[in-house]
Structure 1
Amino acid sequence: MNDTPGWASPGSAPSEGQGAGVPRPSEPVDGSGPAGNWSPTQPPTGQWSPPSTPGTGPGAPPPAPGWGGGPQGPGWGGPHGSGWRQPPVAAKPGVIPLRPLGVGEILDGAVSTMRAHWRTVLGITLTVSVIAQIAITLVQRYLLPEPAAIDPNATGSEALRQTADSAQSALVNSVPSLLITMTATLITTSVLTVVISRSVLGRPVTLSDAWAEARPRLAQLLGLTLLLALISAAIMTVGLLPGMLVGSAAGAGLVVIGLMAALVVVIWLMVRFCLASPALMLERQSITTSMRRSAKLVSGAWWRTFGVLALTGLLTLIVSVIIAIPFSVIAMAMDGGSVGSFLADGTTDFGWPFLIVSGIGQVITATITYPLSAGVMALLYIDQRIRREALDLELARAAGLPGYDTRS
């Protein structure tokens, strides 16, 4: 089976087990398919020009003297050979132009999707965020045990033991919140990826349509997320275990070295597989095939992909801090007693005012950052396929742009 399927148009049936009346997506151009790997509906050789307006697609007459060649030389315009003409503008049926994207265009496309489909985006992110935050608040208030106490006067081995117990307790207490957050992220990412794929084509999408298309892929998306988490955990364990077994000062040095090495490997792998999620959703492939697709698309563009993801993470962090600061101040002002107990003896039995106000801040943060992160990931995937596989041609045909439907 070829692991490089073409663009799955939103609303089409899954590529596995398609019915006789459902067209299958064409093979992409990445050198791994049959000979040539070109779709049978590619434009004739020498007639392709960047899409802009009707009459500039395949089959259009050759351009007049000026841009693209002519009596006065390539790109040179004017009756006396004076001045450069601008290149044709790429078609833009939706939130992005159908050509390789810059970093700013990827971020702008994610924000434009939030604005163009704000009802759908707000509906899914706000609903999931509210439910997830209520669950996290109830778990923190009623189910989690008290964290291990730390005696500030303890010294030597006793202080180390208390620190280890405290770290273990904090790790255990964070697991339920992480699981709830992961589930919320899965749901929003799956639905928002569908919304973004429609917005690229300039098509409207409702929340019910996006959910109906994303729901069959949730189980596989969960499996992909768990697999990547297990891979990261295994690498971190391998990096930390030798130093933990040795103990003493030498062991502490090994722990630091192992932690740094493990982090480098984890970051490299997570960037390499970061496009597996949109590939799984839009190409309707298996987990392992989606991971191979991501590795192939990121190959040769690792640093660029890392830079875009790092910039997106920095922006979401800034937004989170900006929102969290005022809500934290209000929460502490409304529940000064529990905050004072926390500062005095480390007790984390916060009252309802603190939990409710801080929870509202978390909901607002998630409502803004979830669509941004999902949008950047999906548009990165589309950008890499445009660069490597000429996906812009298939997107133009799927959008119904004049001059691109070459089917007989």
Structure 2
Amino acid sequence: MNDTPGWASPGSAPSGEQDAGVPRPAGPTDENGPASKWSTNQPPAAQWSPPSGQNQYGAPQPPNSGWGGHQPRGGWGPQAAAKPGVIPLRPLGVGEILDGAVSTLRAHWRTVLAITITISVISQIATILGERYLLPEPPAIDKNADTSETLAAAIDSSTASLSYSASITLIATLFTTALLTVIISRSVLGRPVKLSEAWKEARPRLPKLFGLTLLLPLMAGAIVFVAMLPGMVVGGDPGAALSVLGVLAALPVVVWLLVRFALASPALMLERQGIIASIRRSSKLVQGAWWRTFGILALTLLLTFLVAMIIAIPFSIGAFAADGDGLSSLIREETPDYGWPFLIITGIGAVIASSITYPISAGVTVLLYIDQRIRREALDIELARAAGVTGYGPGSPASEHRS
């Protein structure tokens, strides 16, 4: 076996890096003994029996002729890829990653929706109350002012609102990422998980995950600020133009870094890495696969955006119909004064959209991490052992080839 940090469902740690107070579920074993490089403390094994001809989701097991008409990776014999959970344990295609994320939502819909709906409702209530009572009214903008004054006024009016909404989003993302990562990691092994179990396993990692979740947007914001700084110093219309050019130049750098560090969250949760170590881990996994990672993340972002828009548009139309003052303000090109009906109806639409898109986004990120480790580190063998799949223990053809 290669000497890489071991995969673990939350509750175990690779390379002896344990956190005090972390729960240790019972360890999986198969007929050949405990899985190599897994912690001896693992969640209880799923009730899954490969010889029955079906997996736990009722789908028939593929014949032993290799997946997709090809020989399995590694060339150790004509054996179909095991599928104890939502994905086959082999390198994944784009469609399989997306399907795995949706399958997780279907298989654990009660737990997933309990998480996403609760967090979405709380975040929306906080956002609505903050916009209504805490944030100042946006100042009127003089149409006769020059470009620099208009830009400065727009920045001043939006800074407080963006900072507040970003803080709410950061906290919501923190909890959804932590809990959904636990559920998705269990789904890969075909194991059920309750909300209380997911919280118990994710809670010890929340401080470090918070640091990581805060660090990445701060890094992106710092890069954009530095790019805008020369234009802010120059001032006037030339300075505004220079700031825009600086932002355009900084965006590719920000995108490159965010994609390179996109797998840091699952590395932090599942390998029990620190903040910096998880960023380095993500960089190593994405190296050589940046464009593929970018393409899958961009496709996921597009799909979730379309889903959110499909849900939000009817609610927005209903909100404008229920709140005539906001619509009339827009028609008069004034600052909209939205009432409670508008805020409540659009908030309901946002909760529904978030409840669907959060699990898909989190699922794709975690499954991308698993896919990269399968491709680079033979993680499929470790996962199959942990799931109790026969034929993957010490001395099996798969193990001998990967050793």
TM-score between the two structures when normalised by the length of structure 1: 0.80
Moved more, 247-256 or 227-236: 247-256
Paired position in structure 1 for 2:17: 16
Counterpart check, 1:398 vs 2:399: no
* Long gaps (5+) in structure 1: 26-38, 42-51, 55-65, 69-73, 76-85
Paired position in structure 1 for 2:296: 308
Structure 2: how far apart are the matches of 1:13 and 1:275? Answer: 17
Counterpart check, 1:382 vs 2:370: yes
Paired position in structure 2 for 1:182: 170
Counterpart check, 1:257 vs 2:250: no
- Cα 1:193–1:181, aligned 2, differ >3 Å: closer, same or farther? same
Structure 2: how far apart are the matches of 1:130 and 1:204? Answer: 25
Paired position in structure 1 for 2:132: 141
Structure 2: how far apart are the matches of 1:136 and 1:241? Answer: 30
Paired position in structure 2 for 1:57: none
Indicate which of 188, 202, 211 corresponds to 1:200: 188
Moved more, 3-12 or 281-290: 3-12
State the shift of 1:348 in Å: 3.4
State the shift of 1:323 in Å: 0.7
Question: Letter of the aligned partner of 2:303 in structure 1?
Answer: L
Question: Letter of the aligned partner of 2:266 in structure 1?
Answer: P
Structure 2: how far apart are the matches of 1:67 and 1:345? Answer: 66
- Cα 1:67–1:117, aligned 2, differ >3 Å: closer, same or farther? closer
Which string of whole-angstrom CA distances, capped at 9 and with x for unpartnered residues, describes residues 89-128 of structure 1?
2110000000000000000000000000001100000000
Counterpart check, 1:243 vs 2:234: no
Conserved? CA contact 1:150–1:163, under 8 Å: no
- Cα 1:234–1:321, aligned 2, differ >3 Å: closer, same or farther? same
- Structure 1 residue ranges (4+ consecutive) displaced by more than 6 angstroms after TM superposition: none
State the shift of 1:162 in Å: 3.9
Structure 2: how far apart are the matches of 1:163 and 1:288? Answer: 36
2:332 is paired with a residue whose SS is: helix
Which string of whole-angstrom CA distances, capped at 9 and with x for unpartnered residues, describes residues 296-329 of structure 1?
0000000000000000000011011111110000
Question: Letter of the aligned partner of 2:89 in structure 1?
Answer: L
- Cα 1:161–1:18, aligned 2, differ >3 Å: closer, same or farther? closer
Conserved? CA contact 1:7–1:391, under 8 Å: yes
Structure 2: how far apart are the matches of 1:242 and 1:257? Answer: 10
Structure 2: how far apart are the matches of 1:294 and 1:236? Answer: 22
Which string of whole-angstrom CA distances, capped at 9 and with x for unpartnered residues, describes residues 340-368 of structure 1?
12442533331110010000000001001
Conserved? CA contact 2:10–2:269, under 8 Å: no
Structure 2: how far apart are the matches of 1:384 and 1:138? Answer: 42
Which string of whole-angstrom CA distances, capped at 9 and with x for unpartnered residues, describes residues 158-213 of structure 1?
x6424421332112222111111110111011100000000000001011111111
- Cα 1:3–1:324, aligned 2, differ >3 Å: closer, same or farther? farther
Counterpart check, 1:231 vs 2:231: no
Which string of whole-angstrom CA distances, capped at 9 and with x for unpartnered residues, describes residues 110-164 of structure 1?
0000000001100000000001101101001111100010234x25x3x642442
State the shift of 1:9 in Å: 3.1
What RMSD over aligned residues (CA atoms) do the two structures have, in Å? 2.9
- Cα 1:198–1:394, aligned 2, differ >3 Å: closer, same or farther? same
Paired position in structure 2 for 1:5: 5
Q: 1:5-404 to 2 correspondence within 5 Å? A: 5-12=5-12, 15-17=16-18, 88-152=79-143, 154-155=144-145, 157=146, 160-404=148-392
1:233 is paired with a residue whose SS is: helix
Paired position in structure 1 for 2:33: none
Conserved? CA contact 2:170–2:214, under 8 Å: no
State the shift of 1:10 in Å: 4.2
Structure 2: how far apart are the matches of 1:375 and 1:116? Answer: 13
Structure 2: how far apart are the matches of 1:264 and 1:40? Answer: 39
State the shift of 1:5 in Å: 1.3
Q: Which has more radius of gyration?
A: 1
State the shift of 1:251 in Å: 3.3
* Long gaps (5+) in structure 2: 28-35, 39-48, 52-63, 72-76, 397-403
State the shift of 1:242 in Å: 1.4
Structure 1: how far apart are the matches of 2:150 and 2:85? Answer: 57
Conserved? CA contact 1:332–1:354, under 8 Å: yes
Structure 1: how far apart are the matches of 2:203 and 2:65? Answer: 48
Moved more, 107-116 or 235-244: 235-244
Aligned residues: 354
Conserved? CA contact 1:91–1:98, under 8 Å: yes
TM-score between the two structures when normalised by the length of structure 2: 0.81
Question: Letter of the aligned partner of 1:406 in structure 2?
Answer: P
1:221 is paired with a residue whose SS is: helix
Question: Letter of the aligned partner of 2:225 in structure 1?
Answer: T
Moved more, 377-386 or 213-222: 213-222
Moved more, 216-225 or 304-313: 216-225
- Cα 1:126–1:16, aligned 2, differ >3 Å: closer, same or farther? same
